[in-house]
Chain A
Amino acid sequence: MSSHKRVSLAACAGWVCFSIATSASAADEGGPVRDILFAQPFRLDKPYTHSWRKEQPLVKAGYLLVLAVDPEFARPLQTAEPVLYVGDQTAERINAGDVSGRLVVLVPSSSNSQNDPTLDLSKALIWFGAPELPERIDAARVNIEINAALSKGAKPWPAEKVRVALRRGGRALHLRNREALEQRLATLLQEYSPNETDLIRGLRVTNK
């Protein structure tokens, strides 16, 4: 990524978000995360465990994102893969995206009194960090990765892009549980990464 100017960072409580003031106007679209295409907030009646992080927090709210990514960079590996971060959180990659160049991800967030996610996507960095198993990533490691990303010039996506993505996502989902969320994920995959037919098929299976 290219360098940037005057970046400052402040952490929020709970599902920490970034307040990044920067004179740089946009994220670097030449990096592996090329665009934010879709964003939809969700909240769940029944939380699920976020296994993509060492602390394994329970998730009641967050965002469904669709990111445009470098397909080669997203190619699944058995060895350690670059970890995708959104704000101060590890994102759960739902699909491979190595053919479509589209990654559908789940981003946990803290929630407000109305149980809506508090993560401000317009202020959050979205980047691939160093290769590691996400289940080994803890808060300390996240901070290291944040600093490394900032030093490389990472910036939040322009507010307008985020607005467009949120507009495309539509109103917040209020779902019963993770399984219901996965039905929505299947729909998104059908739209953004339709070649992953087996994954879609698997997510849509609900009956015994």
Chain B
Amino acid sequence: MTQVVGGFCKRGDLVNALSVLLSIGLMASGSSFGNASIRAESPAGTGVVRLKLAGNSLSAYPYFEYVRAINQGSTVEVAVDPFRYPGVTGQRADLYVVSHKTEAEWAADPQLIDVRGQPQSVTFNGLDIAGNTFLVDEGLLSGDSGIGLGVPYDVVLDFNVDGLLDGGDYIDGLGDAAGFYVVAPTQLAGPLAVSQVIYSGGSFLGQVTFHPTDIASMKQLPLVVVSHGNGHNYLWYDHIGNHLASYGFIVMSHQNNTGPGIETASTTTLTNTDYLLGNQATIAGGALNGHIDSHRIIWIGHSRGGEGVVRAYDRIFTGAYHPSNFQLEDIILISSIAPTDFLGPDMSNPHGINYHLWVGAADSDVNGCASCSLCQSFHLLDRATGTRQSTSLYGVGHGSFHNGPTGLVADGPCLLTRAETHQIMKGYLLPLVKRYTEGNIPAKDYLWRAYERFHPNGVPTHECVVANLEYNEGSAAMNFVVDDFQSPASTAVSSSGGAVTYDVDNLVKGQLHDSDGSFTWAPSDPMNGMTVGSASDITRGIVFEWNTDRTLSFEIVPERRDVSAYQYFSFRAAQGTRHPLTMLELAGRTFTVSLRDGNGLSSSINVGAYGGGIRSPYQRTGCGIGAGWGNEFETLRTRLSDFLNNGSGLDLTNLVAIDFQFGPSYGSSAGRLGLDDVEFTLD
């Protein structure tokens, strides 16, 4: 077997591998270089090669990361892998960064106008992707898109140097999506002046609504409803209201009847949403009338209110409640902040709605301890079957999320202040709501890219700031799930039917639920630290460990071996809290993911290339003996084309196995991990 690790062949004949790659590169590009002759006769776009060009270099294989969102003030680079696109070798081109155009716009006007003032001349003399990487912007490109998110740019390599996009040119763009987007700091207020109005429709119908002051000149705007937690107040979410309204949202925060419980709280979410929609003609003197888009409603709830919004959705879903002024499909996103789980899987269930979860690892109320099932917020996330995502922050307490006069309600080391928490909240909240109200493209990067590699520019980044992100598009996304570990029970077979082979130690497949009520490590509770599901939930995964070189392999079943249509390889993993191998070194755990094809070729990427690996548990004490809080999963997604860089030769049309390789030859020397949701995704 020829195995390429870190871009270098460890074994086998490099020349043979390269010959395979050259052919694959041509196939992958869909077009060979040098079709300039069709330029004059063809509409713009004909003969043009579409590919990813923009991103940033990495210090390890695959040496370059193609991305969609780049922070304003950060560098932008362009890279072409000469193995995948051999036609570029030795060629010179004018590299343009241009304002994005759709395909139709390019056809109408193929002229290239560089937003930097003039194009730069580049020559592809490099032997690999790193040698063909060019700095194209030092952080000067504007990300100011007003109330939008992301200024779209395309990158064009004008090989015939005629100043037009035409045959033979390469472009990152040429579609609905731009090549890349420069994004302004999302935690900063938007350009719109904001007004707020406080009113009441009666008992538990008190509301404060934030809206753009000039709403009279605007069309319909999405509605964000905020349902507070117990002992909290609806006036404590002005940081959310002002922020989102400054970007063109209407945000209503309401009195929430949380004292009696979740069912009652869910009722006030429902009645308040109905009240606003049904009384917009009179509220605020009618300022909102006709400007609320009742088909784009987002519910945000905090703690009991965070469960309440999920329960409210469930009540409509099951037909137990019938709103007067909206319906189930009008709710497009639910975001729960540190929610409780009083009601369990049958009643607090997000079903197929887009679902987002905030968790503060230092929360001393909804604390996440294994002994308190209703305190484990992650249950709700895992019940969601639509696109689900979470943002978990170390050092953040329960009270840090609101803006009230109470304390942080926090316990643990390295606490973040409320102001720091709000910076991060606002920075992620804007992309979250933009993603689901507008389908904003760069917003998606915020939802899954490792915090240490990409986050809103200007949010706190000191050593105490650790964020774990999960992202999964759910069962409707037509992804290829290699193994979600739900069935069969055997550790030797994946859920997609392929063989699972391994020599990692102590591999156990089971419910992702800590069953002994303590985070103290005990071999009798292999799922120690897992709070993904309650005892009543069905979510499953595996745990295992290593302290020397070890492998865990998933066979790809024959009928699914062509994965070339997928864009990313994805999985989620978490360190096992308080386990001796975790405690050996409180640091991120890295390892290598190898994709192996039917020709015996393998391409490998160390997950540390994109960030810090799987982060160590938050070092909070309590909930048993020792330090380390719950096992926090984070999703790692790798662009499949990254495995092709530098002549890996990998045949994505005939992939036979995924090998997770652990140990000193592949990353961290020892560790214990949980693993779940191994899949190929379309986007």
Query: Across the interface, do A133 and B342 meet the contact criterion of CB distance under 8 Å?
Result: yes
Residues of chain A lying within 8 A (CB to CB) of residue B375:
79
Of A61-69, A154-162, A199-207, the one touching chain B: A199-207
Residue contact B261 to A133, C-beta cutoff 8 Å: yes
Chain A residues with CB under 8 Å of B267's CB are 51
Whether A205 pairs with B304 at a CB distance below 8 angstroms is no
A208 at interface by CB-CB < 8 Å: yes
Is residue B365 contacting chain A, with contact meaning CB distance below 8 A?
A: yes
Quote the shortest CB–CB distance from A146 to chain B (angstroms).
Answer: 20
A residues less than 8 Å from B232 (CB atoms)? 76
Choose one: B235, B257, B365; the contact of A51 (CB below 8 Å): B257
Partner of B261, one of A48, A93, A135: A135
Residues in chain A near residue B235, CB distance under 8 A: 198, 201-202
* A138 close to chain B: CB less than 8 A: no
Residue of A nearest to B372 (CB): A79
Interface residues of B, dominant DSSP: loop
Looking at A96, A199, A203, A208, which has the most chain B CB atoms within 10 Å of its CB? A208
| Shortest Cβ gap from A89 to chain B (Å) | 13
Given contacts A51-B264, A133-B261, A134-B261, contact A207 B199 (CB under 8 A): yes
Is A78 in contact with B340, judged by CB distance below 8 angstroms?
yes
CB distance from A190 to the nearest CB of B (A): 15
Option from A135, A195, A199, A205 in Cβ contact (under 8 Å) with B264 = A135
A-B contact count (CB 8 A): 87
Within 8 A of A (CB), among B244-263: 255, 257, 259-263
Considering only residues 28-86 of chain A, those with a C-beta below 8 Å from chain B are 48, 51-53, 75-81
Among candidates A76, A92, A178, residue contacting B231 with C-beta atoms closer than 8 Å: A76
Nearest B residue to A203, CB-CB = B206
CA distance A198 to B178 in the complex (A): 46
Chain A residues near B374: list those with CB within 8 A: 79-80
Is B231's CB under 8 angstroms from A208's CB?
no
For residue A133, which residues in chain B have a CB less than 8 angstroms away from its CB? 260-262, 342
**Please, which residues of chain A bring their CB within 8 A of the CB of B365?**
77-79
- Closest Cβ of chain A: how far from B498's Cβ, in Å? 43
Given A198-B236, A198-B404: A77 and B261 interface contact (C-beta under 8 Å): no
Inter-subunit contact B200/A78 (CB<8 Å): no
Contact of A77 with B231 in the complex, beta carbons under 8 Å: yes
Cβ of B279 under 8 Å from chain A: yes
Let me know if A208 and B398 touch, CB within 8 A: no
Decide if A179 is an interface residue (CB 8 Å cutoff).
yes
In the bound assembly, the distance between CA atoms of A115 and B233 in angstroms comes to 33
Within residues 86 to 139 of chain B, which ones have a CB less than 8 A from any CB in chain A?
none
- Does residue A136 face the partner (Cβ distance < 8 Å to B)? yes
Closest CB in chain B relative to A173 CB, distance in Å: 16
Contact A51 B260 (CB under 8 A): yes
User: What string of 1s and 0s marks CB contacts (under 8 Å) between A169-196 and chain B?
Assistant: 0000000001100100000000000010
Interface contact B257-A78, CB-CB below 8 Å: no
Distance in angstroms from B531 CB to nearest chain A CB is: 15
Residues of A118-175 at the interface with B, using a CB-CB cut-off of 8 Å, are 133-136
Contacts A51-B260, A52-B259 given; does A208 touch B199 at CB 8 Å: yes
- Among candidates B198, B283, B340, residue contacting A205 with C-beta atoms closer than 8 Å: B198
Q: For residues 158 through 205 of chain B, which have their beta carbon under 8 Å from a beta carbon of chain A?
A: 198-203
Residue of A whose beta carbon sits closest to that of B282: A208
A-chain residues with CB within 8 Å of residue B279 when the two chains form the complex: 208
Known A76-B231, A135-B264, A202-B234; contact A92-B259, beta-carbon cutoff 8 A: yes
A201 to B366, CA, bound (A): 27
Q: Is the Cβ of A207 less than 8 Å from the Cβ of B262? A: no
In contact, B233 and A207 (Cβ under 8 angstroms): no
Q: How far is the CA of A92 from the CA of B263 in the complex (A)?
A: 16
> Given A51-B260, A77-B230, A79-B372, are A207 and B200 neighbors across the interface (CB < 8 Å)?
yes
A-side contacts of B255, CB under 8 Å: 202
B602 is an interface residue with CB less than 8 A from chain A:
no
- Residue B671 at the chain A interface, CB threshold 8 Å: no
- Asked whether A78 lies within 8 Å of B203 as measured between CB atoms, the reply is no
B366's contact among A78, A199, A202, by CB below 8 Å, is which?
A78
Among residues of B, the one whose C-beta sits closest to the C-beta of A92 is B259
Contact of A96 among B200, B231, B366, B372 (CB under 8 A): B231
CB distance from A67 to the nearest CB of B (A): 15
Verify B199–A205 contact, CB threshold 8 A.
yes
- For B198, B236, B283, the residue with the greatest tally of chain A CB atoms inside 10 Å of its CB is B198
Cα separation A182 to B374 with both chains bound (whole Å)? 31
Q: Which of A48, A96, A133 has the most CB of B within 10 A?
A: A133
Tell me, rounded to whole Å, the shortest Cβ–Cβ distance linking B354 to chain A. Answer: 24
B303 at the interface (CB under 8 A from A): yes
**Quick check: A205 and B206 within 8 Å, CB to CB?**
yes
A48 and B404 alpha carbons, distance in the complex (Å): 29
Interface string of B340-379 (1 = CB under 8 A from A): 1010000000000000000000000110000010110000
B613 contacts partner chain A, Cβ-Cβ < 8 Å = no
B229 within 8 A of A: yes
Contact call A134/B260, Cβ cutoff below 8 A: yes
A173 to B233, CA, bound (A): 27
- List residues of chain A with CB within 8 A of the CB of B201: 208
Contact residues in A for B257 (Cβ distance below 8 Å) = 51
Q: Mark B206-238, 1 if CB is under 8 A from A, else 0.
A: 100000000000000000000001111111100
Residues of A within 8 A of B (CB): 48, 51-53, 75-81, 92-93, 96, 98, 133-136, 178-179, 182, 195, 198-199, 201-203, 205-208
**Would you list 28 pairs from A and B whose C-beta atoms are within 8 A, ordered by A residue?**
A51-B257, A51-B260, A51-B267, A52-B260, A53-B260, A75-B231, A77-B230, A78-B303, A78-B340, A78-B398, A79-B340, A80-B342, A81-B230, A96-B231, A133-B342, A135-B260, A178-B202, A179-B202, A198-B233, A199-B233, A201-B235, A202-B234, A203-B206, A205-B200, A205-B206, A207-B200, A208-B282, A208-B284
Q: Name 20 extra pairs, CB < 8 A, besides A78-B303, A198-B233.
A: A52-B259, A76-B231, A77-B231, A78-B229, A78-B366, A79-B340, A79-B365, A80-B374, A96-B231, A133-B260, A134-B261, A135-B261, A178-B202, A179-B200, A202-B255, A205-B206, A206-B200, A208-B200, A208-B279, A208-B282
Across the A-B interface, give the 8 residue pairs with the lowest CB-CB distance, nearest first: A76-B231, A133-B261, A135-B261, A135-B260, A78-B303, A198-B233, A198-B235, A205-B200
